[in-house]
Structure 1
Amino acid sequence: MNLRIRNNLKFLFLIFSGLLFSQIISFFEILNSNKELFLKSKALLNETYFFFTPSHGVSDSLLKYSTAFFGSISITFTSGIFLTFSGLLAALIYIKSIKKNFLLSLLIFLYLILIFFLKSLFFFAAVPALIFFLTIKLKPELKTDLNFIFTVILIFASGFLYKGEAIFSDIRDKVLLNNKAGIIINNFYYNYTMYPAELIKPLNAKKLKLCKLTGFNNNEKKRLEKILLNLNFFTVKKKSPHIDLYLEKNNNKLQLISSGKKFYIENTFSKKIFNEIIEKISYKTDSKLFFRKITIAGLFMLPFLFLYFIWFSLKTLFSYFLSYNKASFFSSILLLITIIYFFSPILYTPEINRINLSQKINSPKKLIRLQALKYAFSNKIYIENLSNHLDSDFIPEISWAILNLKVKTSDDLNIIFKKTKSKYINIRYKAYQKIGGVSGIFEKQVYKFLKQNYPNIKNWYVQWYAYTYTKKIIH
């Protein structure tokens, strides 16, 4: 076997081993997190005065092994990637180092300091350690291919310089939701990444939080419950081992207890003060900051890994009938052309203004219609007839048409109600967002619809989106 190919296969084996080990560990992490979410959901649903919660229709699915398995994939391909490459890089530095004893001592020292400050010790300690020792055993040679590096830098630099952070939403709307394979990836994201995210969120960002009040009279409880509900804390009357915040009245002070830590504020009903103290508590009790940091780092590494896999496959294929340098060059060129072809819609943004809006919104090109609908929504421009857009086969176009629809009659409202039953997740959650903005004479009709349909929502993200936008109606 060609030495270069054998060396590359070593790297692929190391990466695969790291991801597999990450998947196994994160599966059990998510399984435990899901169990806690389930018990918290049940504790909340047992409170009969809560008719609408962010966990009405999804709590039972949290105990399934398949839910934990697919949810852990999101951890594997973010944090797992970062930890795998951290162990790989540390080992490569060690192999190349002249003063191996000193470097090994330094790496062990830094390693021990790192895990000392972490609570998920096994996950963060085991993955890089395994890859470190596997890499030392296999001793792969790191050979930089400038063709690939130049190609990747060119692709990402041009994209981010042109679009900035908006590139992520454009990838979803213009690339993923523009083809069947992309829709599958999009659905996987919305089905299996929302609840695992609860594992690494600080207190103020968690979707489902329980609070127990002690020492308050009925009037004080009602006022506090309203304040806390705006911060997404559900006050429960019954005892539960999964309470996120205990709030006790102690003379003229309020004592707040979270994760065993106590905080004190003056006896108050100020929304501003409660916002500030919850932010402080969240910061002081946050044990998952590092977890989130490496998750984000891994998320940014994922596209590079995906591109490398494509490039490596092309290069291996070309190397059967071309020299190594030519195979590397042509695979890089082909990769660049392919990426430009698929991502060219992102780089193209038509100029839309109030003068040409009516023309653009009826364009035969769906991406131009989409951009026109976004422009109309952001500038609060009323569109008279949206029927063609609502009946489109392009998911983002339907979603933005829903947001642009002005509810003037019961028929308009029924159109939105119907869209909440769409087979597409993106359309469903946008429909609930629109329902949350309905007011006036239609509120009773909306409340009746929500009471009948809200508990039956089976998607975690859609139910949370629905709750967020409609809680002022349902509570």
Structure 2
Amino acid sequence: MSLPHRKNCFSLLRQNGYPFLCLLSGLLAAQIIATAQVYLSNADLHDGLKLIRSAGYLTIPNQHIMNRLQEFGPAFYGGLFFTLSLGASLSMLALGISWIWIRIFSAKRWFLSVLLIPWALFLLLINLHGFSPFSSAYILLVPIIVFRTAWKLMPGAPPRRRWAFKVIHPLLIILLTLLWALQTEGNLFMSLRDNLLLTSTPGEKLNDFYYRYTFYPAEVFKTLNQKTLKTCRITVSENADMKEALEKKLLENDYLPVENTAQVDLTLLKEGDEILLQQHGKTVVKTTIPDFPAMGAIRLKEFSRKTDRYGSFRKCVFFSLFTGLPAMGYLFLYLLIRTFSGTFLKPEASSVMAPILCFCVGVILLITVTPPNLKGMPDKTLNEMLESRNGRERITALKRVLGKRVEISDYRAYEGILKSPHIADRYWLTKTLAYSHNPETLTDLLSLLDDPSPNVVSMAYWALGLRGDRSATGEILKRLPNSKDWYNQWYAYNALRNLGWTQTKQ
């Protein structure tokens, strides 16, 4: 390689590579905050589970997961969920605004003063239902760090290009966004998982990683109503019958009464003819003594809603999951193509080639995850698709069987799919067994509890809960203490509740 060409390569890396470093700085800041946030949440959960266990109740997650709640690993890996969602969105937004500030407004200070207004409003929105230090830290620190990095690294403006070269990139982005927006059949994440991740060994490992660690960050911003188990204290000691009635209603909603003086999620206090639902000594909901046993579930949902501090934060995270992470992935791919193509193409040609290739990758990915349309498909065609060698056709047919809630064991392909080496096949077959009325399929469903894939095992528990056969209760209870997968335990516990089982002190 000649020296001039080597200089050109270094120049391209500096010209196109600064966004990598800017975004990396924002992601690192977000990861530090997220790790601390998940670690403290895990510690709180550990203390709550110890309280529940000491009271004699079944704990979810079990002892295997409890032992890991105080380790650094789950906090770090769980923190990636917030880093790659909210952290990615904030970093992309900060990079875009810093580009506008430096390139268009020539880094004028008044622009930053104007920017403080929406920034302060965003911070206020995040803390609308109560101050959250970690939520505030994301909003405050990540943009500042990205801005500072961009200020130091962003090079001067490149030479002016003709207008045609300027519009092709935004036009292709808009077109690609519209194409993806039109993909409304089913769950997009499930389609990506079934048709992309579960079709290769690295994809399976990434899928397992996600489900292994996703519950740790989820615990950070769940409402009380969304949490599996909650602790409570009943202070109605003078009336044993009333206390028993209140305890029964609380157990039905997974609020577990404990006799400890430690901090609990809910305190029920009798004051005159009223029952006060309190948290941290503050009355949140008031109800009457006759009302609570009859309307307890509604009052507890109201209590959960009024004590939720993370509503705005939760919405931002989920919105970021659909916007920030895909946008960052697109930008990284664009910059990679633009940098390497610039070593042998002229700048204008490179600026056209990069978005076209990114557009092609986006379309190919869309085609890969979009299932065929089965509306109006006759049963004969459905039967043929279940026997197809094409995995996408089999999965789509299984989804149709699930939607119609027909007997899956009546199809010729049933036995073959039950033993399929493909996880997605077994996953969707397991879901169809929830609506099977053939007694023999119960044995198959129980055998799927030993499937090597946690996704399949979880759906086996889900299906057992929906079938309503209470004879499965003992099998589920026997397996719960030995499970090492939080995701499976959550589905197993919900299956028990669907089968009519409730917590009792052991």
Q: TM-score, normalised by structure 2?
A: 0.84
Partner in structure 1 of residue 90 of structure 2 = 83
Q: Is it true that 1:393 corresponds to 2:400 in the alignment?
A: no
Partner in structure 2 of residue 134 of structure 1 = 149
The answer as to whether partners of 2:221 and 2:314 remain within 8 angstroms in 1 is: yes
The 2-side partners of 1:328 and 1:106 are apart by 32
Partner in structure 2 of residue 429 of structure 1 = 458
Matched residue SS, 1:234: strand
The 1-side partners of 2:32 and 2:258 are apart by 35
| Paired amino acid for 1:87 | A
Range moving further from structure 2, 76-85 or 165-174: 165-174
1:25 positional shift: 1.7
Q: Is it true that 1:179 corresponds to 2:232 in the alignment?
A: no
Superposition map of 1:320-335 within 5 A: 320-335=343-358
The 2-side partners of 1:145 and 1:202 are apart by 46
1:165-219: CA deviation from partner (whole Å, max 9, x where unpaired): 6323222222222222322222122111222111122332233321222206444
Range moving further from structure 2, 90-99 or 385-394: 90-99
The 2-side partners of 1:271 and 1:354 are apart by 49
The 2-side partners of 1:193 and 1:92 are apart by 34
Pick from 15, 20, 24: which aligns with 2:23? 15
The answer as to whether partners of 1:45 and 1:56 remain within 8 angstroms in 2 is: no
The 2-side partners of 1:145 and 1:191 are apart by 44
1:54 positional shift: 4.4
| Paired amino acid for 1:373 | L
Partner in structure 1 of residue 4 of structure 2 = none
Range moving further from structure 2, 26-35 or 214-223: 214-223
| Paired amino acid for 2:361 | T
The 2-side partners of 1:259 and 1:149 are apart by 52
1:148 positional shift: 4.2
The answer as to whether partners of 1:223 and 1:269 remain within 8 angstroms in 2 is: no
The 1-side partners of 2:117 and 2:330 are apart by 34
The answer as to whether partners of 2:274 and 2:287 remain within 8 angstroms in 1 is: yes
Structure 2: which 5+ residue stretches go unaligned?
1-6, 159-164
The 2-side partners of 1:149 and 1:193 are apart by 34
The 1-side partners of 2:247 and 2:438 are apart by 34
The answer as to whether partners of 1:361 and 1:372 remain within 8 angstroms in 2 is: yes
Q: Is it true that 1:119 corresponds to 2:132 in the alignment?
A: yes
1:323-347: CA deviation from partner (whole Å, max 9, x where unpaired): 1222233333333333333432433
How many equivalent pairs are there? 469
Partner in structure 1 of residue 338 of structure 2 = 315
Give the root-mean-square deviation of aligned CA atoms: 2.8
Partner in structure 1 of residue 36 of structure 2 = 28
Matched residue SS, 2:276: strand
Aligned in 2, Cα 1:15/1:99: closer, same or farther, shift over 3 Å? closer
Pick from 373, 381, 395: which aligns with 1:356? 381
Aligned in 2, Cα 1:439/1:12: closer, same or farther, shift over 3 Å? closer
The 2-side partners of 1:382 and 1:439 are apart by 16
The 2-side partners of 1:110 and 1:371 are apart by 45
The 1-side partners of 2:157 and 2:251 are apart by 54
| Paired amino acid for 1:30 | V
Superposition map of 1:58-97 within 5 A: 58-95=65-102, 96-97=104-105
The 2-side partners of 1:168 and 1:74 are apart by 15
The answer as to whether partners of 1:84 and 1:131 remain within 8 angstroms in 2 is: yes
Aligned in 2, Cα 1:414/1:205: closer, same or farther, shift over 3 Å? same
Matched residue SS, 1:321: coil
1:379 positional shift: 1.3
Partner in structure 2 of residue 306 of structure 1 = 329
Q: Is it true that 1:207 corresponds to 2:214 in the alignment?
A: no
Matched residue SS, 2:182: helix
| Paired amino acid for 2:92 | F
The 2-side partners of 1:388 and 1:165 are apart by 25
Aligned in 2, Cα 1:212/1:131: closer, same or farther, shift over 3 Å? same
Structure 1: which 5+ residue stretches go unaligned?
none
Q: Is it true that 1:51 corresponds to 2:64 in the alignment?
A: no
Range moving further from structure 2, 346-355 or 181-190: 346-355
Partner in structure 2 of residue 447 of structure 1 = 473
1:6 positional shift: 1.6
Aligned in 2, Cα 1:210/1:55: closer, same or farther, shift over 3 Å? farther
1:21-73: CA deviation from partner (whole Å, max 9, x where unpaired): 1111211111111111111111111221x236444542212111111110011
The 2-side partners of 1:146 and 1:218 are apart by 75
Aligned in 2, Cα 1:52/1:30: closer, same or farther, shift over 3 Å? closer
Matched residue SS, 1:399: helix
Partner in structure 2 of residue 297 of structure 1 = 319
Aligned in 2, Cα 1:141/1:427: closer, same or farther, shift over 3 Å? farther
Aligned in 2, Cα 1:140/1:204: closer, same or farther, shift over 3 Å? farther
The 1-side partners of 2:491 and 2:70 are apart by 22
The 1-side partners of 2:248 and 2:372 are apart by 44
The 1-side partners of 2:459 and 2:149 are apart by 47
1:123 positional shift: 3.4
| Paired amino acid for 1:180 | T
Pick from 209, 213, 234: which aligns with 1:192? 213
Range moving further from structure 2, 185-194 or 17-26: 185-194
1:396 positional shift: 1.9
1:469 positional shift: 2.0
1:315 positional shift: 2.0
Matched residue SS, 2:212: helix
Q: Is it true that 1:283 corresponds to 2:311 in the alignment?
A: no
1:260 positional shift: 4.5
Partner in structure 1 of residue 3 of structure 2 = none
The 2-side partners of 1:139 and 1:174 are apart by 39
The 2-side partners of 1:20 and 1:203 are apart by 30
The answer as to whether partners of 1:159 and 1:347 remain within 8 angstroms in 2 is: no
The answer as to whether partners of 2:16 and 2:338 remain within 8 angstroms in 1 is: no
Matched residue SS, 1:392: coil
Range moving further from structure 2, 205-214 or 74-83: 205-214
Aligned in 2, Cα 1:267/1:369: closer, same or farther, shift over 3 Å? same
Matched residue SS, 1:212: strand
The 2-side partners of 1:335 and 1:98 are apart by 30
The answer as to whether partners of 1:160 and 1:167 remain within 8 angstroms in 2 is: no
